[in-house]
Amino acid sequence: MRRSDQRRDAVFACYQRDVTGHPLEELVAESRPFTRELAEGVEEKRDELDAAIARHARGWELERIAPLERNVMRVALYEIEHAEDVPSEVAIDEAVNLAKEYCGADAPGFVNGILGAALRDREGTRS
């Protein structure tokens, strides 16, 4: 199974957790290791990821962002911040592609804008 498919599965597991309240462990119990790693990482770093999304989503309250879009961004931000083997550009590209396929028409630009701003902010703090 491709990493892209496992990212999608991680996004959907995190989304289902948000929407249904089912424990994440249940939702990823039979998933591939990369899917579990991403979903569990997002769960562990949720507050940090949400703070980054909220900081860059100017004019939007975090709760107003659609749950699927929020989880697409959480997974991508987790990879940007915590997955050393994934280039940031790949994480953003994958997130935009997921938004194109599964979210509304405005979602890809919105996701790209927030993730791009978060990446620029991160790179600015490293300089």
- From first to last of its 127 residues, the chain has per-residue pLDDT tens of 899 999 999 999 999 999 999 999 999 999 999 999 999 999 999 999 999 999 999 888 999 999 999 999 999 999 999 998 999 999 999 999 999 999 999 999 999 999 999 999 887 765 4
- What is d(CA 96, CA 94) in angstroms, rounded to the nearest whole number? 6
Please, what's the largest Cα pairwise distance for the chain? 41
- What is d(CA 90, CA 76) in angstroms, rounded to the nearest whole number? 9
**3-state secondary structure at position 59:** coil
Show the domains of the chain with their CATH numbers.
3-126 (1.10.940.10)
Report which residue type is found at 86: V
Q: Are 73 and 53 in contact (CB under 8 A)?
A: yes
